[in-house]
């Protein structure tokens, strides 16, 4: 029996293998990593020491860009060959399509957007946000097979060392019913990604205009981190392409500075794994202060520039 781990982002294998270890402890078996696409084949070295017993690399030409029908075939082959019972993937738009296809093919229980996962006496129990984050659903997988899509940041990345056996595979895609005719990659913002950053500077509606996000960006750059916002700034004002929180990106930095953020549960659910939280808010009653390790009651337009100036001086020596 095997536990198969597939991620469409190479940096998330470390988190997924932590979930895989949980399954191995509970059910036994071996943990196999799956990499699909020639574009990723050279990145296999980056994950070879995470603790997989094997890494399967499917690198046929038709797999170079995401095609759910072709990827499904690779997954199906891997599952059949290695008697896979549990498939763990990162929760992403592409994987949601893929997971639905594969779960129906192998008759497995499927849970997407997993924000908490536990094994209770052999039962697989997961929590996931529903109704756009208004509520949490607790679900149990019935049957002996599961496909689980885990949100980034839910598990800590854990490398166990060791060297995986790398197995190269090609597959015949001549019977594939869906052909990819054009692939236009999305423009990505430069800088450190929110879910990978050790330091995150978050801004909320206390920020009055888009240009003032520069303060967050400057502080993030000084501290070698990323910047992010609450949902209204991204979804309502369009100032950023993503937001921090239960319906956005979950973060787990060593330091999170929340400036002008009230601390609503939908936001704090996505920051609860942060090691140290510093809140800057002019309202001493703001709920974020109950959540924070350190609080500054004050105007972010005074506090942030002073903090930036001070840190710059420290950096300059």
Ligand X SMILES: Cc1cc2nc3c(=O)[nH]c(=O)nc-3n(C[C@H](O)[C@H](O)[C@H](O)COP(=O)(O)OP(=O)(O)OC[C@H]3O[C@@H](n4cnc5c(N)ncnc54)[C@H](O)[C@@H]3O)c2cc1C
Between the alpha carbon of residue 104 and those of residues 107, 146, 185, the distances in Å are 5, 11, 29
Q: How far, in Å, CA of 264 to CA of 287, rounded?
A: 7
Place of tokens 């990593």: 33
Task: Report the nearest approach of ligand X to the CB of residue 151 (Å).
Answer: 11
Output 179 or 299, the one with its CB closest to ligand X: 299
Task: Report the nearest approach of ligand X to the CB of residue 98 (Å).
Answer: 24
Output 14 or 248, the one with its CB closest to ligand X: 248
Structure tokens at 289: 């202060």
Q: Determine the longest span between alpha carbons in the chain, in angstroms.
A: 64
Task: Report the nearest approach of ligand X to the CB of residue 42 (Å).
Answer: 35
Residues that bind ligand X (CB under 6 A): 132-134, 204-206, 230-232, 243-248, 260-262, 264, 266-267, 270, 280-283, 286, 299-301
Output 24 or 151, the one with its CB closest to ligand X: 151
Task: Report the nearest approach of ligand X to the CB of residue 188 (Å).
Answer: 20
Task: Report the nearest approach of ligand X to the CB of residue 127 (Å).
Answer: 15
DSSP assignment string, 61-101? GGGSS--HHHHHHHHHHHHHHTTEEEEEEE--HHHHHHHHH
Output 67 or 266, the one with its CB closest to ligand X: 266
Residue with the CB atom nearest ligand X in the bound state: 245
DSSP assignment string, 15-57? HHHHHHHHHHHHH--EEEEEEESHHHHTTHHHHTTSS-SEEEE
Q: Is 163 within 8 Å of 49 (Cβ atoms)?
A: yes
Output 40 or 247, the one with its CB closest to ligand X: 247
Output 2 or 262, the one with its CB closest to ligand X: 262
Task: Report the nearest approach of ligand X to the CB of residue 112 (Å).
Answer: 16
């Amino acid at each position: 029996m095997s536990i198969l781990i597939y991620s469409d982002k190479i940096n998330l294998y470390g988190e997924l293998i932590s979930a895989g270890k949980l399954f191995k402890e509970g059910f036994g078996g071996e943990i196999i990593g799956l990499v699909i696409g020639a574009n990723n084949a050279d990145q296999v070295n980056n994950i070879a020491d995470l603790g997989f017993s094997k890494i399967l690399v499917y690198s046929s030409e038709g797999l170079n860009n995401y095609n759910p029908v072709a990827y499904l075939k690779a997954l199906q082959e891997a599952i059949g060959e290695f008697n896979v019972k549990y498939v763990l993937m990162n929760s992403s738009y592409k994987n949601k399509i893929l997971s639905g296809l594969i779960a129906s093919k192998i008759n497995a229980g499927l849970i997407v957007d997993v924000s908490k996962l536990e094994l209770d006496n052999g039962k697989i129990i997961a929590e996931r946000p529903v109704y756009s984050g208004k509520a949490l659903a607790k679900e149990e997988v019935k049957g002996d097979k599961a496909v689980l899509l885990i949100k980034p940041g839910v598990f800590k990345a854990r490398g166990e060392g060791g060297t995986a056996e790398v197995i190269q595979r090609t597959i015949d895609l001549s019977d594939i019913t869906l052909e990819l005719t054009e692939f236009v990659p999305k423009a990505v913002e430069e800088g450190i990604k929110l879910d990978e950053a050790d330091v995150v500077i978050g801004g909320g509606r206390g920020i009055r205009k888009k240009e003032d996000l520069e303060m967050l960006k400057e502080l993030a750059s000084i501290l070698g981190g990323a910047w992010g916002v609450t949902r209204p700034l991204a979804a309502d004002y369009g100032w950023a392409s993503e937001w921090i929180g239960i319906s956005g990106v979950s973060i787990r930095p060593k330091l999170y500075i929340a400036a002008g953020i009230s601390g609503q549960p939908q936001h704090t659910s996505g920051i609860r794994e942060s090691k140290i939280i510093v809140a800057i808010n002019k309202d001493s009653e703001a709920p974020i202060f109950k959540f924070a390790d350190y609080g500054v009651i004050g105007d972010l337009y005074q506090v942030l520039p002073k903090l930036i100036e001070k840190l710059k001086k420290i950096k300059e020596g």
